[in-house]
A and B are shown apart, each in its own frame.
Chain A
Amino acid sequence: MWRHAVVRRFALMYCVLAMTMMVGLAGLLYLLHQKALAQSERELTNLGHSLVGQARDMIRSVDIVLRDTREGLMRAKQAGEVQTPAYLHEHFRQRIAGVPQIRSMALATAGSDVIGHSLTPSPQVAISDTSSFRAHLLHASNKLHVAEPRQSRVDGQWGVALSLRMEDADGQFDGIVAAVIDPSVVQQFYKGIELGEGTAVSLFRADGILLARWPQSANSIGLSFSNDPIFTELLDEMGHGFALLDSRVDNQRRLVFAQRVGDYPFVIAASRDEASAFEAWRHTALALVAATSLLLVGAGWLMLRLATQEAKRRMAEAELVGTTQRLRLIDVASPVGLYVSDPSGLLSYVNPAYTQLLGVQAVRLVGQAWIMLLHQDDREAVSRSWQQAVERGEPFAMEYRCLCPDGRMLWVSNRAEYSPSQAAQGAYVGSIEDITARREHEQLLRETLSLQKAVLDGTAYSIVSTDRSGLIRSFNRGAEQMLGFSAAEMVGKATPARFHDLQEVVARAAALSVELGEPIPVGFEVFVAKARLEGVEEREWSYIRKDGQRIPVLLSVTPLRDELGEIDGYLGVAHDLSEFHKVDKLKREFVSIVSHELRTPLTSIRGSLGLVAGGIGGALPERANELVKIALQNAERLVRLINDILDIERIDAGQLTLRVQCTEVMPLLEQALADNQGYADHHGVRLQCFGQVYGALVEVDVDRFGQVMANLLSNAIKFSHSGGGVEVSVIRDGTRLRIEVCDHGPGIAPAFRDKLFERFSQADSTDARRRDGTGLGLAICKSLMAQMHGEIGCDSSEGAGSCFWLSLPLQGLPTGPADMRPPSLVPRILLLEQDESCAAHLARPLVEAGFPVELVYEANEALLRWESGRFGVALVGPRAVSGGEGRLEQIMSRDHQARAILLLGDTPTAMPVDARLPWPLEPQQLLAGLRRVLVGLRSAQVLLIDHDVGLQTQLGAVLPQGVALDSANTLTAARHMLCRRDYDLVLMDPALPDGDGLALLPLLYGLPMRPEIVLHTSDAALDTGLTGALHRLPKDGSVESIADLINQKLRRRRGQEDTP
C-alpha cells in the first residue's frame, strides 16, 4: 500500500495534522494550568491577607493589654504601692477576662521570680531560664517579645509567651510582664474558616518556629522551620510572597502564600497542595487529551480510506492506458489476423497480419464482406453459421478454406466475439489463423491411423504393445482372436505373462541368466531382455488361450522408443505356428514315407542292376553293359540323394542326434583316407596325408565325422584331374585342430564361395561331375560340424584348387582362461635366416611344437629385435651370416645368461654359442637340440603326479640338489601345475582320484618343451604303444630306483648322454 505515492502523501498530511493538534493541545493545557495557578494564588493571597489582619488584631489586642498592664504596674510601683501576688493574681485575671486568646498573664521580677500570675495567687516559680526573660534582660527594647512555645510551669499547658520589659524609673530592667497565648485558640479560629480542599494555614514566629497550624500537625508545633523555603526564599522585602515549593512541614509540594504580621514577629502562611490546586485542571486536561486522541484516530482512518481510494483510482487509470497500448501492439505484431466486422459481415478494420495472411491490401478489404474470399464449397455453410451467430448474438467460430487472390488455398480458423460497444448496431471482433499445416498433419495422421488400424485389425498376427513394465497398452483384433481375451480385459490391466506358459518362462529365465551372465527374474524381463540388447528378438513360445488351449507362436519382440530414443515400451508380434507346425509335421512325415517308399523299388532296381552288372545274368554285350552301368550309377546317386534329403530333414527337425565321443583323430583320418582310397583310385587321384598330431583328441560322432571327411574327400577327388593329388593336412592351431583337404582342381569362383554351404547349391550344373552330387553334402557337413562344435570352411583361388578345412577344439588341452598357460612360459624364438624356403622349413616344426617364432631375414633387424629382450632364443640359420658377419657377432656378444643362441651349420665363428647343430637336419633333431639348450638354461623341474602324497617327501630326500620337485595328487591339480611351469620330467601314477591320468598324455605331448614321461604303474597292459618318450616304471621298486631313473632321464635330456 505504501508504494503508492498518494498514500504516502496522505500519511504525511496526517502526521502534520496530528502534530499541530498536539502542539495546540499542549499550549491550551499550559494556559489552563497557568490560570489554575493564578486562581490558587488569588485565593491563597486573599486568605493570607485576611488571616494576617486577624492575627495582627489579635496580637495587637494582646500587646495593648500587656502595655496597659505594664504601664499600670510601673506606675503603681513608682507610686510605691505594694502589689501582692494575690492582688496581682486578681488584677491579671481581670485584665485578661475580655481577651480570650490570652490564657494567662504573669509578672516576674528582675530576679526572675514570678510574683504575680493569673492562674495562681501564689506562684512560686522562677523564669530565669526562659528566652523571654533573658531577651528582655539583655536587650533594652520596648518591643513585644515572642517566646517559643513551651509548657507552662504553673499549669503544664502549652502556650506561647508574649512579654514586655519592665523598667524602673531609671530605665533599669525591672522584670517582665508576659501574656501566654493559647495556640489552640488560634487553631480553633483557623478551623472555623472554610479553607477548601488541600488548603492549610500556619502561624510561624518570625524566625520560623511553628506556632500553630490547621489542619493540625501535632508533632511539628514548636519546631523551627527556619530552613523552610518560606523563610529562605519566599518572603521578600515587602514581607510577603507566593510560590510553588516543597514544604518542610508536611513534605509536600504546595502553593504557598506567606506574609509577615505587621510589625510583630509572626508570619502567616496559607498553602494548598499541588494535587488539590490542579485537580480541576487535571480533569480538564484528561478530557481534552482523550478528545484529541479520538479525533486523531478518526481523522487517520478517514484519510487512509481516502488515500486508498485515490490510489486505486490512479492505478486503474494507469492500467487502462497500458492495456490500450498493449492492444495496439498486439494488433500490429500479432501473427494472427484480427478484424472488426459489422453483423452483415462487412469489414471495418483489419490488422497487418490479416492482410498478409490473405495476400490482399487492407484498402481492398475494408468495406468488403470477408466472406468473399472463401472457397466456394465452404461459402454457404460459413455464411449460414455466421447468420446464426449474429441472430443469436453468440460468438462465431469456424474452420474453413480461403481462396486467396494469388491462388493459394488456406485452411483458416475464424473466431469472433460480439462486441455491443463497437458501433451503433454492435460489431464482431474476430481473429483468423492459418491452420493449413495443422489440417494437413491431421489429415496425414488420420490416414496413418486408419491404415494402422486396418493393418492391426486386418492381420492374423497377434500384436500387443506394452509399456516399459510390461503393462499392455494395445491389443489388436488378431490377438483377441488368437488368445480369446478381449482388448478391454487386457489393456491397462495385464501383462503378456497372462497368456504365456509359466514353465516356459521359468526355463527361459534360467537360460537367459546363463547366456547374459546376470540373473534375469522370472517375469516380463524374460521377454524383453534380449530384444533390448539386440534390437529385436524372435523366438518360439507357447501362448495359452483363455480357454486353456496351447498355441505355438513365433513371437518377435521389438523395443518401442520415444522421441529421445529411450525405450518406453515393447511391441510383441506373434504369429500362430499351429498351422505351420501341422504342415511341417506333414512334410516331415511325407518326406519320411516317400523316402521309405522310394527305397523299396530302388532296392530292386539297384539290386537287379548290380547283379546284371556283376555278370550274374550272364555276359552282356558291351553297349548293354555300358548302359547298365549308367543305370546303376544313377540308381546309386538316387540313393544318396534320398539319404541326404533324409539327413537334412532330420537336421531341420532337430532329430539328428549325434553320439559324440572323445576320440583320437589320427585313426579317424586314416580310416577316412582308406575308405575313399577306392574312389580316388577310380579317378586316378593320389591321396596324401601330411602332418601328425600325436594323441590329439577330439569330440566327434565317429560315423558323422567319417561322413564329413568322405564328403570333402570325394569332392576333392572328383574335381582333381586324373593323375593329380589330394592332400590332407593335420595342423595344430593353438587349442584347435585343423584338418585341410586340398585339391588342385579348377577352384571355386569367389562369387559362389559364400553359397557353398547352402542347400542345392552347385556352382555349375552343366559340369558332369557336379551333376554326380546331390547338392546337399556340404550343407549337411556344415550342420554336422556345428553340432560337433567344429567349423568348416573353404579357401580357394579360382584355377589353383580349393582347400576345404575343418576345425575342431582339441580335447585334453587347457582351453579355459584359468588354465591358459602364460605366454611367457614358452621362450620366444627369433629366427634369423636369409633364405626364405630354408626359413620356412626351420620355422614350421617350431611353430607346430607350440613355440612362438618371429622370423627375420636381415641381421640389422634381428639385432634390433633381440635387444628388445622379448626373445629367449636366437636361432641363427645356416645362411644367415652371408650378409653381415659383424652384425651376427654383435648379436652373440650381447648374449646373457638367461638367453640362448643356437647356430645351425658349420659357420666358423669364435663366438661362444650355446649349441651348434649340424646342417641339414631333421625337424625332430632341431626340436631336440632346442629343448636341450633350453633345459640347460635352468634347473631341472620334476612333477610327481600321484595320489599318494607321501611319495613326494621320500623322493625329495633322495633326489640330488638342484632338482626341483613339485607334486599333484589329482588330475585337476596336475593340469594346473602343467599350465604354470615347464617340467623336464613327469612321474605319474595314472590311477588318480578324479580320473585317469592317461588323459593328460595329449596335453603332455602337446607341450612345446615336451617333458620326459614316466608312468609309475604296475599295469603292464600300458606297455603296448609306449613310445620313446614314455617309460613305464613298475610300482614295486624302491624310492632309490625311482630317483635313479629320474636322474638318468634328466641327464639324457640335458644332453649329457645321447638321446636314443
Chain B
Amino acid sequence: MNMPLQRILYVEDDPSIQTVVKLALELVGGYQVEVCDSGRAAMAALQRFRPQLALLDVMMPGMDGPTTLQHLREQFGFERLPAIFMTAKVQPAEVAVLKSQGALGVIAKPFDPMTLGGELERLWSGQSQ
C-alpha cells in the first residue's frame, strides 16, 4: 500500500480518551480522524468516511472491538481493512488473540500521546512490507 496513512476510523466509548486520541492524532500526527463512540456508529460512518485504518478500543459496551472489526470487514470494500487495537489488557495471551484476528498490532493503554502517531505509522508501514 503506497498511499500514506491519512484517514483513521477511531472507535472508543470513553469520551476523555476520545478527546486525547483525537488531539494526539490530528494535532501531533496530522491525521484525519473520524471518532465513533460505538461499533454501530463506526459501521454507520464507514462508507461515508472510507478509512484507511481502524483504531479500535477492545472493551466497549454493546459491541466490543474485535466484533466491531468483524462487522466492518463484512462491508463491501473493507474486507481487508487494516486495524489496530488499543487495550488496557496487554497480557501476551490477550495480545496474541487480538493479533490472530488480523490486527496489525496492539497499543497498550495508557499510551504516550506524543508518540502515538509514530507508533501507528510504524505498524502501518510494517503492514506494507
Residue positions of A touching B, CB distance < 8 A? 595-596, 599-608, 610-611, 614, 616, 635, 639, 646, 650, 657, 659
Give the distance to chain B from A12, nearest Cβ to Cβ, in Å: 114
Cα-based distance from A221 to B24 in the complex (angstroms): 183
* B126 at the A interface (CB under 8 A): no
Digitize B8-36: 1 where CB-to-A-CB distance is under 8 Å, 0 elsewhere. Answer: 00000010110111011001100000000
Query: B110 and A602: CB pair below 8 A?
Result: yes
Stretch at the interface among B46-54, B61-69, B88-96: B88-96
Residues of A contacting B24 with CB < 8 Å?
607, 610-611, 616
Q: Which of A602, A604, A614 meets B28, CB within 8 Å? A: A614
Query: B92 and A596: CB pair below 8 A?
Result: no
Residues in B79-122 with C-beta less than 8 Å from chain A? 88-89, 91-93, 109-114
A604 nearest in chain B by CB position: B16
Give the distance to chain A from B6, nearest Cβ to Cβ, in Å: 19
Cα-based distance from A605 to B21 in the complex (angstroms): 12
Query: A607 and B88: CB pair below 8 A?
Result: no
Cα-based distance from A605 to B111 in the complex (angstroms): 10
A600-B88 contact, Cβ under 8 Å, with A607-B17, A611-B20: yes
Specify which of A603, A611, A614, A657 lies most central, judged by the most chain B CB atoms within 10 Å of its CB. A603
Specify which of A607, A614, A659 lies most central, judged by the most chain B CB atoms within 10 Å of its CB. A607
Q: Which of A600, A610, A659 meets B113, CB within 8 Å? A: A610
Give the distance to chain A from B37, nearest Cβ to Cβ, in Å: 14
Give the distance to chain A from B49, nearest Cβ to Cβ, in Å: 23
- What secondary structure prevails in chain B residues at the interface with A? helix
Query: B14 and A604: CB pair below 8 A?
Result: yes
Q: Which of B20, B88, B109 meets A608, CB within 8 Å? A: B20
Residues of B contacting A607 with CB < 8 Å?
17, 20-21, 24, 110-113
B15 nearest in chain A by CB position: A604
Q: Which of B17, B91, B92 meets A603, CB within 8 Å? A: B17
Residue positions of B touching A, CB distance < 8 A? 14, 16-17, 19-21, 23-24, 27-28, 59, 88-89, 91-93, 109-114
B13 nearest in chain A by CB position: A600
A599 nearest in chain B by CB position: B88
Query: A614 and B110: CB pair below 8 A?
Result: no
Q: Which of B59, B89, B93, B114 meets A610, CB within 8 Å? A: B114
Query: A606 and B110: CB pair below 8 A?
Result: yes
Query: B89 and A596: CB pair below 8 A?
Result: yes
Specify which of B24, B59, B113 lies most central, judged by the most chain A CB atoms within 10 Å of its CB. B113
15 sample A-B contacts, Cβ–Cβ < 8 Å, listed by A number: A596-B89, A599-B109, A603-B109, A603-B110, A604-B14, A604-B16, A604-B17, A604-B19, A606-B111, A607-B17, A607-B111, A610-B114, A616-B27, A616-B113, A657-B92
Residues of A contacting B23 with CB < 8 Å?
611, 616
Give the distance to chain B from A424, nearest Cβ to Cβ, in Å: 104
Specify which of B14, B19, B109 lies most central, judged by the most chain A CB atoms within 10 Å of its CB. B109
B18 nearest in chain A by CB position: A604
Query: A603 and B112: CB pair below 8 A?
Result: no
For the complex of A and B, the 6 pairs showing the least CB-CB separation, nearest first, are: A607-B20, A604-B16, A599-B88, A603-B110, A606-B110, A603-B109
Query: A603 and B111: CB pair below 8 A?
Result: yes
Residues of B contacting A605 with CB < 8 Å?
110
Cα-based distance from A26 to B91 in the complex (angstroms): 133
Give the distance to chain A from B38, nearest Cβ to Cβ, in Å: 16
Cα-based distance from A769 to B88 in the complex (angstroms): 28
Cα-based distance from A602 to B89 in the complex (angstroms): 13
Cα-based distance from A614 to B59 in the complex (angstroms): 28
A600-B109 contact, Cβ under 8 Å, with A608-B20, A616-B28, A650-B91: yes
| Beyond A611-B28, A614-B114, 11 extra complex contacts between A and B, CB < 8 Å | A595-B88, A596-B88, A602-B109, A603-B17, A604-B20, A607-B112, A608-B19, A611-B24, A611-B27, A614-B28, A616-B28
A599-B92 contact, Cβ under 8 Å, with A611-B24, A611-B28: no
Query: A601 and B114: CB pair below 8 A?
Result: no
Give the distance to chain A from B65, nearest Cβ to Cβ, in Å: 14
Residues of A contacting B19 with CB < 8 Å?
604, 608
Query: A611 and B113: CB pair below 8 A?
Result: yes
Cα-based distance from A655 to B92 in the complex (angstroms): 11
